[in-house]
Structure 1
Amino acid sequence: MADINSLSDRLLFGIPKKGRLHENCLSLLNGADINFHRPNRLDIALVYNLPIALVFLPAADIPKYVADGNVDLGITGQDVVEESQVGDKVEQLLELGFGKCKLQVQVPIKSNIKKVEELVGKRIVTSFEVLAGAYFEELDKKYLSDDQKKEGIKTKIEYVSGSVEAACALGLADGIVDLVESGETMRAAGLHPISTVNNTQAILIRNKHSSNTSLILKLTSRIKGVIAAQKYVLLNYNIQRNFLSKATKITPGRQAPTISPLDDKEWVEVQSMVCKDDVADIMDRLEEIGAKDILVFKIDNCRV
């Protein structure tokens, strides 16, 4: 591995080395024109076209590396940052829109437990002992009686590093707290959710005291453009001037639509960025008010 001390002239960017965030991060870097080659077995890769070095790290370690100033920037999950308790040392720059999960309280489907307060005073197994501990501490305050509190009864939070979903079947826990994406793994383990601790997704974070401010701003702008390009399309259509006000209410754009005159003075051309998920419905509504030549263009990159 390259000696990180030889990279003092480069901004260090922590990237998850594997797992659910890794492939999305590589796609994001490619869209932001961050060109690099990662040699086999090496966890540091030099970027060709910018003074940046990518440092591939376990996602769970990235908040600490950023907080301690070992790397300037990092991508990891919101849940990991909160669990690491480094919020006073790192700044969240962007929500990245991928890696979306829920941190949920799950119990066996066959159990009689229907509400999360029924787990108060029982055993919880989790990989997120800080977040789970804080969550159940509040429930303990609310639902344990004064006598129970005097006896020292409280919800027991036990840490395991993996295979959390097996804890109930093995008799180790009455419930678990774990990340859930589709829920298939939990259902296969005979579990179902009764409460959500929080929602999480991948985020871009920086060390609050990093000196590479201009390069961080450039990177953030590029990544923001990639995210917008994934979320929006460019809609182009022609509309009679009499219906222009109705049309622009349907397609107001991010700031305002672009309106251009045509040879036929009764008609104008309109261009507007619209949310990709809504484009079919928007096209239907435009057609209903007489819009013609409605075209949709993919946005590869942008600055917004």
Structure 2
Amino acid sequence: MATVTGNNSMIPADNVVMAVPKKGRLYDRCMKLLAGAGMDHRRPARVDIAQCSDLPVTLVFLPAHDIAMFVGEGNVDIGITGLDVVKETSDDSEIEVAMELGFGKCRLCVQAPVSAGITDVKTLSGKRIVTSFPAVCKAFFDQYDTPDNPTKIKYVSGSVEAACGLGLADAVVDLVETGTTMKAAGLEVVAEVMDSQCLLIVGKGTKHREMVDLIVRRIEGYITAEKYLMVSYNTSKENLEACKQVAPGKRSPTVSQLDTEGWFAVQALILKKDSSRVMDELQGCGATDILLFAMHNTRINTSS
């Protein structure tokens, strides 16, 4: 039985335990993701556990920073958190990355006061660095440090950007999304430590592999549906090959003969971000009756 804290009677013994961030923008995105994957649930007020209505899955709502640790230690079967958290709090041998989710994108960066004019991160080796990611920070500065002058890394759980202004640090290592908070604190990026985004992660020791794989397929299907649209159009035989070059689909388009001789109905998946351009080019190639359809979910081999 996988539980977050010992023998928790709120989690049925045979259920998969899935951890999601409990608040903030990541929580909102995760709720949309779960709804799109058909993982309906009701979360009672002020309770951090919820049961899915049609799957033997218990959702636990945790701080994002704790999720990778719980998955790695086997307390949770599957979870959603950032790559930065995975690298900071877990062992690669314990966690399998099922997929990148495409949201929560940010950069973990070395930031220093603009007034210091630091252009080479190597000059910060041996200095005072404040961060919420001490393990990742140490691994980054190890490449520049010497045994007799290691970088002095201090952990804080929040308000990292204030450390330089308070005279507590020469630089900080913190997440940058829009850069607004960094600039307001008078800081600038000196070096990028890593790119990050939200991941779906699985504990390698899970005893519920079949159900975990089902959850992964459902989420993958929803993400694919969000990423692609279906374009449908009619074209004559002489224009068919040119149109297929514009919208080749994931494997190949679906082509059907119309009652009108020499004419075909065609359907193909296209990336949502390319949809306007593709429609323009199809029209330029002689396609007619061009329609675009959104999808709610899919089951598509994304490797093809």
Amino acid at match of 2:214: K
Match of residue 198, structure 1, among 151, 170, 194: 194
TM-score (norm 2): 0.93
SS in 1 for 2:92: coil
Answer with 284-293 or 26-35: which moved more.
284-293
User: What SS does structure 2 have at the residue aligned with 1:7?
Assistant: coil
Give 1:15's match in structure 2, choosing from 12, 20, 37.
20
What whole-Å deviation, never above 9, does each CA across 1:170-208 have from its counterpart, x for those lacking one?
111121111111111111111121211111111111111
Which of residues 134, 147, 167 in structure 2 aligns to 1:129? 134
Q: Tell me how far apart the structure 2 counterparts of residues 228 and 171 of structure 1 sit (CA, whole Å).
A: 47
Which residue is equivalent to 2:77? 72
Moved more, 109-118 or 3-12: 3-12
1:83 is matched with 88
Match in the other structure for 2:158: 162
Q: Secondary structure at the match of 2:293?
A: strand
Match of residue 232 from structure 2: 236
Partner of 2:8: 4
Q: For 1:106-163, what per-residue CA distance to the aligned partner results, in whole angstroms no more than 9, with x for missing partners?
A: 11222221122222222211111111110111122xxxxxxxx46x112221111110
* Equivalence for 2:279: 283
Matched AA of 1:36: H
Unaligned runs of 5+ in 1: 141-148
User: Contact 2:72–2:90 (CA<8 Å) still a contact in 1?
Assistant: no
Deviation at 1:2, TM superposition (A): 12
Q: 1:49 aligns with which of 49, 54, 70?
A: 54
Aligned partner of residue 45 in structure 2, secondary structure: coil
Structure 2 vs 1, CA of residues 211 and 2 (structure 1 numbering), >3 Å: closer, same or farther? Answer: closer
Q: Residue 127 of structure 2 contacts residue 152 of structure 2 at CA under 8 Å; is this kept in 1?
A: yes
Distance in 2 separating the partners of 1:226 and 1:288 = 32
Change over 3 Å in CA distance of 1:247–1:104 after alignment to 2: same
Cα distance, 1:247 vs structure 2: 1.4
- Is contact 1:108–1:190 with CA below 8 Å preserved after alignment? yes
TM-score when normalising by structure 1: 0.93
Does the CA-based 8 Å contact 1:63-1:86 persist in structure 2? no
Is 2:115 the partner of 1:110? yes
| 1:208 maps to which of 189, 204, 208 | 204
Aligned position for 1:92: 97
Shift of 1:263: 2.0
SS in 2 for 1:139: coil
Please state if 1:186 is matched with 2:182: yes
* Aligned-residue offset at 1:25: 0.7
Inter-partner Cα distance in structure 2 for 1:133 and 1:2:
32
In 2, Cα distance between the equivalents of 1:233 and 1:190? 43
Number of matched pairs: 295
Q: Is the 8 A contact 1:2 1:44 kept in 2?
A: no
Amino acid at match of 2:8: I
1:252 is aligned to: 248
Asked if 1:31 corresponds to 2:27, the answer is: no
Identity of aligned residues (%): 46
Distance 1:264 1:2 in 2: 68
More off after superposition, 279-288 vs 28-37: 279-288
Distance across 1 between alignment mates of 2:258 and 2:6: 59
User: Which residue pairs with 2:168 in the alignment?
Assistant: 172
Q: Equivalents in 2 of 1:85, 1:70: separation in Å?
A: 13
What secondary structure sits across from 2:214 in the alignment? helix
